[in-house]
């Protein structure tokens, strides 16, 4: 893309490049509110107004994730067409685009796919009256499938399944159910869910005597713990600052200071790769002693509650 061409107002160079680039795939990734939709609309308009082989609006497929975004796109394209018409009144091509706006393929991904299925149901062997299941409906279906699956597994003799139940089961298999459903949701966001699962499985197939540090997912695991610890440090620092405010629950300060030091120490140990130490301390429930009693009315009750809430957040991170 040549950079010495003048860039029309109000676009930035990068935006203009995204608007005009052609002949290939384009991925635009930018911050919230930075003008992605505006660029996409302008890109469509640009194509519509091209002097050489201008296209018609019904030749576009514009898909979004939400109904609101689709409606916004349609509206903005409509507005941009109106503006273009004030500059080129009587332009027949533009007028035609206006009339095409309502039936243009600007929709959510779901509704586009549903239309496709309805149109070609006979090729897919589906009932033409298929519809998109709502969240409640899919949640019920998932539970049903999970019930059936667990029932089958329980009546079998797969030792792997029983050790899975033992590890994640929880009360009434709640923990296991959650793990299965979470894993399902997560893998569905992968481009190839089955492959992802197979790869994940491989990373657990370890040679004997391998240390935790030698595992491929160890750095990721440490990063995740590190982030959690940072959250705990942050919550405790907030709590301590607020406890020291006028009217704050000052009697908690001693606990909070100790706890903050404890969590910081855990964090430092993790930095030094001392996972065993982190684990034994992290699970040590003695870290969070019970807070001293405060007589009602002697401190600001709201601040006291807030400090407690923040401390509970940290406690939950450390003790689970």
Binding residues vs Mg ion (CB under 5 A): 36-37
Residue 173, SS3? Answer: helix
Interaction between residue 75 and ligand ATP (CB under 6 A): no
Interaction between residue 10 and ligand ATP (CB under 6 A): yes
Q: What CA–CA distance (Å, rounded) separates 305 from 313? A: 12
Closest CB to ligand ATP: residue number: 35
Q: Out of 24, 25, 27, 32, name the contact with ligand ATP by CB under 6 A.
A: 32
Query: Minimal distance in Å, beta carbon 95 to ligand ATP?
Result: 25
Beta strands in 81-160 (DSSP E): 105-108
Burial 178-204 (b: 16+ CB within 10 A, else e): ebbeeeeeeeeeeeeeeebeeeeeeee
Query: Minimal distance in Å, beta carbon 16 to ligand ATP?
Result: 9
Query: Minimal distance in Å, beta carbon 36 to Mg ion?
Result: 5
Tokens found for residue 55: 């296209």
The one of ligand ATP, Mg ion, none whose footprint includes residue 10, by CB under 5 to 8 A per kind, is ligand ATP
Contact indicator for 256, 239 with CB cutoff of 8 Å: yes
Tokens found for residue 82: 């109106």
Interaction between residue 24 and ligand ATP (CB under 6 A): no
Q: Out of 7, 20, 34, 197, name the contact with ligand ATP by CB under 6 A.
A: 34
Interaction between residue 249 and ligand ATP (CB under 6 A): no
The one of Mg ion, ligand ATP, none whose footprint includes residue 32, by CB under 5 to 8 A per kind, is ligand ATP
Could you tell me the CA-to-CA distances from 86 to 48, 55, 81, 89, 111 in Å, in that order? Answer: 15, 20, 9, 5, 33
The one of Mg ion, ligand ATP, none whose footprint includes residue 38, by CB under 5 to 8 A per kind, is ligand ATP
């Amino acid at each position: 893309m040549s950079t010495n061409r003048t860039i029309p107002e109000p676009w930035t160079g990068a935006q203009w490049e995204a608007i005009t680039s052609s002949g290939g795939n384009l991925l635009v990734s930018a911050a919230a509110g930075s003008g992605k939709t505006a660029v996409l609309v302008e890109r469509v308009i640009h194509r519509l107004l091209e002097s050489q082989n201008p296209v018609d609006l019904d030749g576009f497929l514009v898909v979004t994730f939400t109904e609101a975004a689709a409606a916004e796109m349609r509206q903005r394209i409509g507005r941009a067409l109106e503006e273009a018409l004030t500059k080129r009144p009587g332009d027949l091509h533009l007028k035609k685009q206006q009339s095409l706006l309502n039936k243009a393929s600007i929709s959510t991904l779901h509704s586009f796919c549903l239309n496709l299925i309805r149109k070609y149901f006979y090729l897919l062997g589906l009932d033409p009256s298929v519809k998109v299941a709502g969240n409640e409906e899919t949640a019920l279906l998932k539970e049903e499938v999970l019930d059936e699956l667990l029932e089958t597994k329980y009546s079998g003799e797969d030792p792997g399944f029983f050790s899975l139940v033992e590890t994640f089961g929880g009360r009434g298999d709640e923990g296991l159910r959650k793990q299965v459903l979470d894993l399902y949701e997560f893998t569905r966001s992968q481009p190839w869910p089955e492959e992802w699962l197979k790869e994940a499985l491989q990373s657990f197939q370890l040679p004997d005597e391998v240390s935790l540090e030698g595992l491929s997912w160890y750095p990721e695991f440490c990063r995740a713990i590190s982030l959690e610890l940072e959250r705990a440090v942050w919550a405790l620092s907030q709590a301590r600052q607020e406890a020291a405010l006028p009217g704050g629950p000052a009697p908690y300060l001693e606990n909070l200071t100790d706890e903050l030091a404890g969590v910081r120490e855990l964090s430092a140990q993790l930095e030094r790769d001392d996972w065993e130490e982190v684990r034994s301390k992290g699970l040590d429930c003695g870290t969070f002693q019970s807070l001293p009693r405060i007589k009602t009315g002697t401190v600001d009750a709201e601040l006291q509650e807030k400090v407690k809430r923040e401390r509970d957040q940290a406690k939950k991170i450390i003790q689970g």
